Amino acid sequence: MPDWLWDHGGEGFAHVYRVEEVLLDTTSPYQRVRIVRTPMFGRMLILDDAVQTSEADEFCYHEMLAHLPLVTHPAPKRVLIIGGGDGGLLEEVLKHPVERVVMVEIDRAVVDATLQWIPQIPGRAFEDLRTELRIEDGFTYVRACAERFDVALVDSTDPQGPSVPLFGAAFYGDLHRILGEDGVLAVQSGSPLYQQDLVTEVRRNLRHHFPVVRTYLACVPSYPGVLWTFTLASKHHDPNVLSPEQVDRKIAGLGLKCYTGLHHVASLNPPPFLREVLEA
């Protein structure tokens, strides 16, 4: 294992981490799964050659993917998570008074690796009685799904291998079918700096099925370029109508470290140099 881990972003650009210890290095039927210890970000989950999450900044990603869509829905009770094997997103969702969370992760090795080496990320979310963990392909699960949900969250790897269909219009159409009339969906949609084509494609594919499509920004220090995007799609509720005060009332007492009412508004209003790609 080289002393330095390179997580490549766009052309000629990468984030580089000094690796103090390799805690796990295994290959599952789907991907290479590594847990490494670094000085700045602590323990990190690496799938293939991409940083997925770290103990130091996981909340920056998981809070933004969980809470903005959950407060956009009037009263979410049934939530579907596709991917999210590290359990950090699940833990955030369970902070809300939801009744049931179905999480569909394709690779058991990711769940086991995080539970063993970075247990503070999922906490006890997998033991929660409201949680149903299914180890299967999210695309085929949603296609055959008879259950209905209020909110769906897609926390997938970037589009390669099994995650490619999770960015397609067909998948978003299937999700639209299993979301209730107040349904809200949010997906990780890549870097606004070096994956602009992906952001545009995700927005286009979501607009085939949903009238409200909003891309919002997050800062995830351990991701190349730090800036990241999520894209919300909704059957009619628009996160832009929520005031900072209304958001703060909805998240009061959840003990969040990143997402706030003011951050809600700021994340949905990109700076001019990004407006074109995030609002096209």
Q: Which stretch binds ligand SAM (CB under 6 A): 160-168, 179-187, 241-249, 269-277?
A: 160-168
For the record, the structure tokens of 264 come out as 């809600």
Question: Does residue 162 bind ligand SAM (CB under 6 A)?
Answer: yes
Interface positions, 102-141, toward ligand SAM (CB under 6 A):
104-107, 110, 137-139
**Binding residue for ligand SAM, selected from 61, 117, 167, 259, defined by CB under 6 A:** 61
Task: Compute CA distances 124 → 84, 86, 88, 114, whole Å.
Answer: 15, 12, 10, 12
Which of 155, 174, 182, 248 is an active site residue? 155
For the record, the structure tokens of 3 come out as 């002393």
Q: For the chain, list the strands marked E by DSSP.
A: 4-8, 14-18, 21-27, 32-38, 42-47, 50-54, 78-83, 100-105, 131-135, 149-155, 179-190, 212-219, 227-234
Question: Does residue 189 bind ligand SAM (CB under 6 A)?
Answer: no
Residues 6+ apart with CB under 8 A from 173: 208, 209
Q: Which is nearer to ligand SAM, 9 or 244 (CB)?
A: 9
Q: How far is the CB of 33 from ligand SAM (least distance, A)?
A: 9
How many residues bind to ligand SAM according to rule CB under 6 A? Answer: 25
Q: Which is nearer to ligand SAM, 85 or 270 (CB)?
A: 85
Q: Which is nearer to ligand SAM, 112 or 158 (CB)?
A: 158
Q: How many other CB atoms sit within 10 Å of the CB of residue 164?
A: 14
Q: How far is the CB of 111 from ligand SAM (least distance, A)?
A: 8
Active site residue 155: yes
- DSSP annotation of 121 reads T
Catalytic positions, please?
155
